[in-house]
A and B are shown apart, each in its own frame.
Chain A
Amino acid sequence: MSNRRSRQSSSAPRISDDQMIDLVTKLRQILPEIGQRRRSAKISASKVLQETCNYIRNLNREVDNLSERLSQLLESVDEDSPEAAVIRSLLM
């Protein structure tokens, strides 16, 4: 019951074609490859969405890798307190 309700509320405001095209275009401009090579080349919304999903997954993976490296670096820096103080003063 609640599923039906939520489905109806999310599909009830019928989005216009223009609005959809506008949003997908904005999304396409952000994407690294598609948005910036051939702007005039038409591309399907489905492909833009697929690329968006891939891009978000890639970004998440990159952030995870960076987090791991950061955690390792923080462990190593932790020993010398003068270094940590210098880093803090430089970065603030």
Chain B
Amino acid sequence: MASLTNINPSSTDLVRRKKRFSVSSTASSRSSAASASTGDGESHARWRSEKQQRIYSAKLIQALQQVRLNSPSATSSSPTAQKRGKAVREAADRALAVSARGRTLWSRAILANRIKLKFRKHKRQRASTTAIPAMTTVVSSSSSSRSRKRRVSVLRLNKKSLPAVNRKVRVLGRLVPGCGKQSVPVILEEATDYIQALEMQVRAMNSLVELLSSYSTSGSAPPPI
């Protein structure tokens, strides 16, 4: 049975071997530690599986090809390196968000942001010029009243209301896309999934960079394995 399933074309076999090599070295060290945790084994398994990385890499390559197609037509010779890098980052994030299959807040926020940003840019430019003097006074008074209210309400024995932890959870919420105004447990769960997705993104992009750089240096011959 095993021999039947192992009949693969040689090209994909090469890719699989290479990816297994790059994935297992990191996955084996982590999976031994991760296997102890039973609670969120689902998200562990999802972002750390080789299959998920392959799916993501395929989507990433498709997105990158589109980026390549768009950039030469947009400007002649010099979109700055920063802009090109940002375009790649956005494509990678979008592919990552799609791989999440809509189950998490951060992935939905990334996909929704593309559309929102276009409208918000215009709105912000208009609103900021007129409302700046009024906004600054309002913001400062509301923030001071907010901190006063927090100090008063700390008398609850709930850990969540401790100002230090609460503040850090808010900071964390701002780092994870789409979680700026969420409740504490939501932020923590989203952060857990987001970190693992980011780690997979790093692994996939690393292996892609290795592959491409080995091609650009050695010519067209595939590197021996």
Binding site for B on A (CB under 8 A): 3, 6-7, 9-11, 13-15, 17, 19-20, 22-24, 26-27, 29-30, 35-36, 45-46, 49-50, 52-53, 55-57, 59-60, 62-64, 66-78, 80, 82-83, 86-92
A72 to B87, CA, bound (A): 12
In the complex, are the beta carbons of A63 and B195 less than 8 A apart?
Answer: no
> CB within 8 A of B181: which of A6, A78, A89?
A6
Q: Which residues of A lie under 8 Å from residue B11 when comparing CB positions?
A: 89-90
In the complex, are the beta carbons of B175 and A57 less than 8 A apart?
Answer: yes
In the complex, are the beta carbons of B175 and A53 less than 8 A apart?
Answer: yes
In the complex, are the beta carbons of A59 and B199 less than 8 A apart?
Answer: yes
How many chain B residues touch A (CB < 8 A): the figure is: 66
Q: Which residues of A lie under 8 Å from residue B110 when comparing CB positions?
A: none
In the complex, are the beta carbons of B185 and A19 less than 8 A apart?
Answer: yes
In the complex, are the beta carbons of B172 and A68 less than 8 A apart?
Answer: no
Binding site for A on B (CB under 8 A): 11, 14-15, 33-34, 36-37, 39-40, 57-58, 61, 64-65, 67-68, 81-82, 84-89, 92, 142, 146, 158-161, 164-165, 168-169, 171-172, 175-176, 181-185, 188-189, 191-192, 194-196, 198-199, 201-202, 205-206, 208-209, 211-213, 215-216, 220, 222
In the complex, are the beta carbons of B160 and A20 less than 8 A apart?
Answer: yes
A49 to B39, CA, bound (A): 19
In the complex, are the beta carbons of B185 and A10 less than 8 A apart?
Answer: no
Q: Which residues of A lie under 8 Å from residue B181 when comparing CB positions?
A: 6, 10
- Where chain A touches its partner, the secondary structure class is helix
The answer to whether A26 and B39 touch (CB under 8 A), given A64-B89, A70-B208, is: yes
Closest Cβ–Cβ distance, residue B26 to chain A (whole Å): 11
In the complex, are the beta carbons of A46 and B165 less than 8 A apart?
Answer: yes
Q: Which residues of A lie under 8 Å from residue B64 when comparing CB positions?
A: 70, 74
A26 to B196, CA, bound (A): 12
The answer to whether A66 and B206 touch (CB under 8 A), given A76-B216, A83-B220, A91-B211, is: yes
The answer to whether A15 and B199 touch (CB under 8 A), given A35-B33, A46-B165, is: no
29 A-B pairs in the complex with CB atoms less than 8 angstroms apart: A7-B146, A10-B181, A11-B160, A13-B183, A14-B158, A15-B184, A15-B185, A20-B184, A29-B33, A46-B168, A49-B171, A56-B198, A59-B202, A63-B89, A66-B202, A66-B209, A67-B85, A67-B89, A68-B84, A69-B209, A70-B85, A70-B209, A71-B88, A72-B84, A73-B209, A74-B67, A86-B222, A88-B65, A91-B61
